[in-house]
């Protein structure tokens, strides 16, 4: 009997924000699937033992280890997940990852793919999950607390009130027009575009706050647009609102 492939969110960074469902999934599986961005990983690799060749590079894994000690006892399937935009190459990488996962599922192994935040919001794991579903394998998605919800909580501000609209936007793709949308704008993946984002915010007369590394070591909170550094890291979430009248 084939195993199951579950996709589980570990939350934004604080191990205490991991859900009970994700912890149970980790305990029940034989193999953890970890997305690795390092160019040194050329193809899927299965690893056991304490060496953890690439595990330290997977933030989702490190968070899970703090929340549940049994995480370290599991076999680890490393899947290459480079931060590139070439669709053809990404398809080949995702196809290879799904093929390797399927081989293990056919051996009756239960796999859990660990991802930051929530699996339904810009998650690399969803590409593998969808492929395996089409191949007929069983599995489930376990929600995690989205990073932007955790950021709003840290800033002590609402994301949306009354009839206010809420827009979640990847800042790396044509942000100028998107910032003109009404309501609250959540800007993700802002790191390399921060200078451009700040210029547009200023031009549009919008207020912005940001949290970098929310729930992680080195967390920093910025309460206004002017405070936000232009060299902000990858794990930076900006929440922009129209100025109150």
Q: Where are the domains of the chain?
A: 5-142, 147-242
Question: What is the pLDDT confidence band of residue 200, given thresholds at 50, 70 and 90?
Answer: confident
Residue 33 and residue 77 in contact, taking contact as beta carbons nearer than 8 Å: yes
Taking a C-beta distance cutoff of 8 angstroms, is the pair 18, 144 a contact?
A: yes
Instruction: For residue 203, name the pLDDT band (cuts at 50, 70, 90).
Output: confident
The domain over range 147-242 is classified in CATH as 3.30.110.40: no
Q: Which of 9-18, 22-31, 77-86 has the lowest mean pLDDT?
A: 77-86
Mean pLDDT of the chain: 93
Range with the poorest average pLDDT among 11-25, 39-53, 182-196, 203-217 = 182-196
Percentage, residues of the chain above pLDDT 90: 76
- Coil vs helix vs strand at 200: helix
Contact of 67 with 18, CB cutoff 8 Å: yes
pLDDT, tens only, 82-141: 988 899 999 999 999 999 999 999 999 999 999 999 999 999 999 999 999 999 999 999
The span from the CA of 88 to the CA of 199, in Å, is 33
pLDDT of residue 11: 97
Q: Please check the confidence at residue 191 and state whether its pLDDT lies above 90.
A: no
What's the pLDDT at 78? 98
pLDDT for 245: 57
- 5-142: which CATH topology? Cobalt-precorrin-4 Transmethylase; domain 1 (3.40.1010)
| Nearby residues of 187 by Cβ (< 8 Å), 6 or more positions away | 169, 171, 175, 197, 237, 238, 239, 240
Confidence class of residue 174 from pLDDT cuts 50, 70 and 90?
confident
Count of CB atoms within 10 A of residue 91's CB? Answer: 12
Between 62-66, 177-181, 217-221, the lowest mean confidence (pLDDT) is in 177-181
170-193: average pLDDT: 83
130/233 Cα distance (integer angstroms) = 30
pLDDT at 148 over 80: yes
Model pLDDT, residue 244: 67
């Amino acid at each position: 009997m084939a195993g199951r492939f579950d996709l589980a969110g570990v939350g934004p960074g604080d191990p205490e924000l991991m859900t009970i469902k994700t912890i149970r999934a980790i305990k029940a599986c034989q193999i953890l699937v970890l997305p690795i961005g390092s160019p040194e990983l050329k193809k899927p690799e299965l690893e056991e033992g304490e060496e953890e060749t690439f595990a330290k590079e997977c933030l989702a894994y490190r968070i899970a280890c703090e929340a549940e000690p049994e995480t370290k006892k599991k076999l680890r399937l490393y899947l290459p997940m480079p931060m590139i935009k070439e669709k053809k190459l990404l398809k080949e990488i995702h196809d290879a990852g799904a093929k390797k996962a399927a081989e293990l599922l056919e051996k009756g192994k239960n796999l859990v793919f660990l991802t930051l935040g929530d699996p339904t919001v810009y998650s690399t794991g969803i590409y593998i999950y969808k492929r395996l579903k089409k191949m007929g394998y069983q599995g489930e998605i376990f929600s995690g607390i989205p990073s932007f919800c955790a950021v709003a909580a840290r800033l002590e501000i609402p994301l949306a009130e009354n009839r206010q609209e809420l827009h979640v936007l990847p800042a790396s793709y044509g942000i100028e027009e998107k910032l003109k949308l009404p309501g609250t704008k959540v800007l993700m993946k802002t790191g390399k575009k921060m200078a451009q984002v700040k210029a547009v915010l200023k031009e549009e007369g919008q207020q912005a706050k940001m949290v970098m590394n929310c729930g992680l070591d080195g967390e920093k909170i910025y309460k206004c647009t002017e405070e936000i550094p232009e060299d902000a890291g990858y794990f930076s979430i900006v929440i922009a609102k129209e100025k109150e009248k």
